[in-house]
Amino acid sequence: MNALTRDGIVVTARRWIGTPYHHQASVCGIGADCLGLVRGVWRDLYGSDAEAPPVYSRDWAETSGCEAMLEAAERHLKRVPIVEARGGDVVVFRLREGCVAKHAGILTSAWTMVHAMEGAAAAEITLTPWWRRRIAGTFRFPGLV
């Protein structure tokens, strides 16, 4: 395997831009949700999935109340302080205050990210103050040089 670099992660994440949203999918160009995009980039970088996620409903976070996304990130990625997050890092969000974290993207710079949201194809967007206020954690891929 080639050395894992920030630029390589960003290039890999940008390949997913335009992938249609599809709940629970993780196939570049065919369909992905936010978790599927992060899983797919992981698979592109490491050759296999870190783990198979359980089947989940669209409202899994509201009904379960557990921090499944943050817990999975902690198992496979290295948590870093938000102020140190840069292109190539994974960012996890709480879409509403007091709710569990249920959205993720991959930073392409300190101010932009690639993500997938229902109703739209995967896109690169600006990490506006709205998004920044909702960050629940930032994480680094293992082995990043």
- Give the number of other Cβ atoms within 10 Å of residue 13's Cβ: 27
d(CA 53, CA 24): 9
Write the pLDDT tens digit of every residue in 72-96. 999 999 999 999 999 999 999 999 8
**By three-state DSSP, how is residue 46 classified?**
helix
Rg value, the chain, Cα: 14
Write the pLDDT tens digit of every residue in 21-34. 999 999 999 999 99
5-9, 40-44, 54-58, 77-81: which range is least confident on average? 54-58
Going along the chain from its start, the domains and CATH numbers come out as 6-49+65-140 (3.90.1720.10)
d(CA 55, CA 47): 22
60 has a pLDDT exceeding 90: no
**Which stretch of DSSP H or E encloses residue 136?**
strand 135-140
pLDDT score recorded for residue 9? 98
